[in-house]
Structure 1
Amino acid sequence: MIFSIATKEWKLLLKEKGTFFWLLLMPVMFIVLFGTVLGQLGSTPQTLTYIDMDRSSASEALLASLEAKGGYKLEAKDAGTLDDELSRIREGKLSSLLVIPKGFDGALAEGGNSQASVVLYSDAASDTVAGLRTTLENVASDYREQRIDDALKSAGANEESRKQALQSPLRIEDKPQNSTESNTVTQVVPGYTVMFVFFVMISMIRRFVTDKTTGMTARLRTTRMSPLNYLLGMWLAYLGVALVQCTVLLAFGHYAYDVQLGDLSAIAALVFMLALCGTGIGLALSMVVRGENQGMAFVQLITMGGAVLGGLWFPLEYMPKAMQTVSHFIPQYWAQKAFQDIMVRGDHLSGILPSLAVLAAFAVACIAIALLRFRGFMKSALSG
């Protein structure tokens, strides 16, 4: 009987084109959009607009160093356009302008305490200027080391002693501890998978409210079907939908963006528990809300608020400490954490047991609420 209810619900969902849009097409579009756009941020070279008033071998060497160290695409402007370029910066149309003044070569050649200057005009509202300034400081550090090396050479120091003098006292040993390199796509694919699983609550609430208002729920009393079987059958239907949804989205991420899923048994356990949690919350809301509009408001609050606080849109470490603490009390955080543990850190089922336990706790609590409220839901259907 429970399976019959679920089968009936699956047939109805297959007839509703909107269901496929919200649960499959929309998340795929989000993954493609944000995975493609954000994934290109680090690989697309930034343009460095400059005016070289010195036009010397030294200024050309400086620009070559900036291009090599910062990966910039150089864009030259004539000296006569300086005022126009500065106007573009003030209008927000240009983020920065590097000007190499006349005499740059001569100032470098003088040595001693002389300094060669460059001028960096920038838009204070631009986020890209800090990276350019850091690159300039790195190049300036190279010039400083070259000057020290020349001074030591003039003093008669041999190559080995000069090398030791210029060697930094600090050595950085980079030892990544993750089995897979983390990138934008490993954040986006599981993040939007988790986010859109909770959108299944929209279909659940709409179906329960529709059955209630059309008298379908009331007519259950005239059949031999147990009301509890109706509740469990509806839940089973959307549990299956959520499982298919997760499978499709993760498979899309794997084949379209080469996302390494890791231990598939751990992924399967996580997907099942996530679907259990999302549909459990949807079941509780369906029994509590008084109408479809109220239900949609709750769904938006849970899905969007949970996406932000759960670190589904961007890494959690970017958030204030207080919000990071709050995130531990929502299921989306634990689902995303478990996905990251499996995909990036190489964990297996034993490593994600705490996350699975939290998702299970949310599911059990919400199912308990649904069962407690089910009798009241049925009474309101009969009185309506």
Structure 2
Amino acid sequence: MKTIAILFIAFCSTISFGQTEKESDIVINNSQQDDTYRAGETIHVNAAIQGDLVTAGGKLIINDSIYEDFTAAGGELFLNDYIADDVRVAAGRITVDAEIGDDLVVFAGEVILTENAVVHGNLKCFAGNIEIHGDVMGNLDIKGADILIDGTVKETSKIVGEDITIGSNAKFHKEVQYWSSEGQMDFKDSLVNTEAYFDEDLGEEKSELSLISLGIASFSLWIFYVLSAFLVILVLHALFKNAFSNAVEGLQNNLLKSFGYGLIYLLGIPLLIVLALVVIIGIPIGLFITTIFIFSLLFGHLIAALLLVYYYKQKKEKDWGFWNITFLALGIAIILRLLTIIPFLGILLSVIILSITYGALTLNVIHSKKQFVKT
């Protein structure tokens, strides 16, 4: 999961190549008396936020207190000061080095709670690598690949991981349910007047998580999908809105050309991957391109939704702001997802949507290169 999250950021950076303007860093040096919303490449919070804080960006650094909820999506996130209420975050890498007054909900590639970290509520985490060196005063519910617990958990714990390591400083004060690919394990001296139980059913829950990425199955998975889609759209829109705006200009005049370029991308990249994997020296490149290509398929309908909103905005000359476009794109993404799960028709529709989307972005990159050469 850590590698996937990092490569997602790398994939996003390829889209941003065609941007003509770079978003400035955002620095909050003055106390904010109300709810605060910020989106940019790098965000530094150096003053207190009296209300909620909602942010999206490549790198997010919180160096002062937030007195209500904190919601964020980005590449890297550093929490270095007190958060009074709930924290809900999705990022490639998250480091928590502060107190959180209530619950912490995390979706990430890598999550680290330092020795200074204290979560006064529950900790719910779905990530690749998870390290907990601090204290969790509520319930612990985590799922990941490599998990290290070397802190204190006051309430019940549910732990699901491929590889679980219990550190010498770990303390569990209530019942522990766990599943590990290695089977039953020794919790040593970490259990304080309680017991740990190996639960096979938790392993089945882990295998069912793959359904989330397909956007199907139960209502609860749909809710998770909608929240995840919103966070991804928020990041894409915050970082690459200029790329979408520029791509729309070419799309209006080159719809068929965009479709053709996109079709070449969808058919040509798999062939390029095969050729790269045949040659030993090209295997690392082939694996990297494969991951990027898979991401482009998984997140294609979200990118297409943003492009469609920008197309309509420009064609109808709508005066929509950042949040209007973000929520409209989320609605369109949900509709596209529903349409694309229709047998046969869904596959055809997906090919058309992805071809036009990536064709338009490719033409934008080509146009930007030509402009750069001319200058």
TM-score, normalising length from structure 2?
0.22
TM-score by length of 1: 0.22
Higher helix share: 1
Higher relative contact order (CA 8 A, sep 6+): 1
